[in-house]
A and B are shown apart, each in its own frame.
Chain A
Amino acid sequence: MHLAEGIVTSPLVLGGGVLLAAGGVAIGLRKLDEAHALRTAVLGSGFFVASLVHIPLAGVSVHLTLTGLLGIVLGWAAFPAVLVGLVLQSVLFGFGGITTLGLNTCIMALPAVAVYYARHGLSGRPTGKMPSPWLSGLLGGLSVALSALLLGLLLCTVGEDFFPIAGAILLAHVPVMLVEAGVTASAVGFLHKVSPELLSGHALEKDPGEQESSVSCD
């Protein structure tokens, strides 16, 4: 789900998107040291591949965005990961372009960060508590709803005649939400058993207490 070029053209909205995305990316990058930036990149490529997966759904096929899982695993690092993913989509497939890059980053990354805060509280400190699959599924579904809502709101800034289109987009995302919720719940259940570290919320945090095993890159 993203905004195509040429629809939203207000310099105020486009510029606001760029600033918001730049701020989010800056926060995300500050939370990563050099070594964890690379781990983010490799995980990001995993998410990129996962987003290419199509699920048949009564005649049409929907593809996953996995925003909820992105927020659970990456937290603020979702911002740089999403930005890079969108740049790649733009270069490889021609989806989206330069002027909407900021807005599209926000559409995907803001819900991911919201999921991160929904899990760890407003202080943003990872509590180390594991998310239950059910809660994760709920968050996964809600994050898609939030993305669709952001997209719809952006379309509404264009003009009144975009209201029905925004409504149609929201409606079309209801089945996507359900699929997304199911897949997120199942993936989190799987990660519980196989790699709980990924769900702890500090899989990618800088870890000053562990100088020995982490790379120091100063």
Chain B
Amino acid sequence: MDIILFNDTGSWIHRLDPRARLIGATILTVLLSQMTALPVLGWGCALGVVGLLVARVPLAAILQRLVPLNALLSLLFLVLLFTTPGDALFRIGSVVATGDGFYRAMGILLKANSIVLILTSLIGTIEFVALGRALEQLHVPAKLVNILLFTVRYIDLMLTEYERLSQAALLRGFQPGANPHTLRTIGYLIGMVLVRSYERGGRMVEAMKLRGYDGTLRWAHPTAFRTQDFGFLAGVTGIALILLGVGWR
């Protein structure tokens, strides 16, 4: 799967402090997850779209997220539409689509999409090192932040490693299919990736140790919460309160 990064388009959202974006995204998504009124969820989606436009997220990245999500949800949509009891909306043969089913399925669809859109525009736009730093500043344990940062660093290398190994297998005439041979070969490939990652991790730790690594994170540049960050959070809180006011029943 291709990874489409959009954490450097230089938009207004990108210039916000990552902490503000994390907090804002958490407020909005937790709130939306608790809402059931369709108009509120619709506004949530609209908010997400505005966020994507402001952050100038490329269309390909948006589609990459929305297509699999909605493929899954449309199955769920159909099941709920036809199995929820209630007044008949329309019928196909002997199965009855109900108004309640439609309302419920639509709610899930809008909710899931609004949350993904908002997360994409607010958190997908944070560069990983900045994300790690923001998490640490928000008191996530340094060990966990280190695991996050080093996992990001090594995924790319391990992917190259895997691609090299699978290319070697292909060159030796390996054809993947539904058979025991494929499972065995892929098991070996994965085993080799793990061995390489284990050894590489060992060497990296030694190198880090020689450079005085003690588990603390040291950052070159100071960060500050600026007026615009407070303004953003005030705006998010305001929107959250309005949504809460409209959606509360």
Contacts and interface: CB of A to CB of B under 8 A. Distances in A.
Interface in A71-107: 73, 80-81, 83-85, 87-88, 90-95, 97-99
A198 B151 contact: no
B214 A217 contact: yes
Given A48-B158, A94-B119, A198-B195, A184 B147 contact: no
Contacts of B123: 90-91
Given A41-B146, A56-B176, A93-B1, A191 B191 contact: yes
Interface of chain B, helix or strand or loop or mixed? helix
B79 A164 contact: yes
A57 B29 contact: no
Contacts of B208: 35, 38
B89 interface: no
A42 B107 CA distance: 40
Interface in B1-54: 1, 3, 25-26, 29-30, 33-34
A122 interface: no
B215 A37 contact: yes
A5 B112 CA distance: 5
Query: Could you say which of B33, B109, B205, B215 has the most chain A C-beta atoms within 10 Å of its C-beta?
Result: B33
A44 to B, nearest CB: 5
Given A191-B195, A217-B213, A66 B115 contact: no
B155 A161 contact: no
A88 B144 CA distance: 13
Interface stretch (B196-204, B226-234, B236-244): B196-204
Contacts of B202: 39
A195 B107 CA distance: 50
Given A46-B194, A191-B195, A94 B151 contact: no
A91 B76 CA distance: 24
A93 B67 CA distance: 11
Contacts of B214: 34, 217
Given A94-B119, A97-B115, A182-B183, A50 B147 contact: no
Interface in A28-47: 29, 32, 34-35, 37-47
A6 B183 contact: no
Given A66-B190, A195-B195, A215-B209, A41 B34 contact: no
B120 A34 contact: no
B72 to A, nearest CB: 6
Given A4-B112, A198-B194, A34 B215 contact: yes
Contact of B33 (A5, A25, A57, A188): A5
A93 B193 CA distance: 22
A14 to B, nearest CB: 7
A25 B144 contact: yes
A39 B79 contact: no
Contact of B115 (A50, A56, A81, A99): A99
Contact of B147 (A44, A92, A164, A195): A44
B95 interface: no
Given A80-B144, A182-B184, A183-B186, A43 B201 contact: yes
Nearest to B36: A9
B85 to A, nearest CB: 8
Contacts of B29: 5, 97-99
Contacts of B190: 50, 53, 64, 66, 69, 183, 187
Interface of B: 1, 3, 25-26, 29-30, 33-34, 64-66, 68-69, 72-73, 76, 79-80, 83-84, 107-112, 115-116, 119-120, 123-124, 126, 128, 131, 141, 143-144, 146-155, 157-159, 161-162, 176-178, 180, 182-202, 204-205, 208-209, 213-215
27 contacts: A35-B208, A38-B205, A41-B148, A42-B204, A43-B201, A44-B151, A45-B158, A46-B193, A48-B155, A50-B193, A64-B186, A80-B143, A94-B120, A95-B68, A97-B119, A99-B115, A161-B83, A182-B187, A183-B183, A183-B186, A183-B187, A183-B190, A186-B188, A195-B195, A198-B198, A203-B198, A215-B205
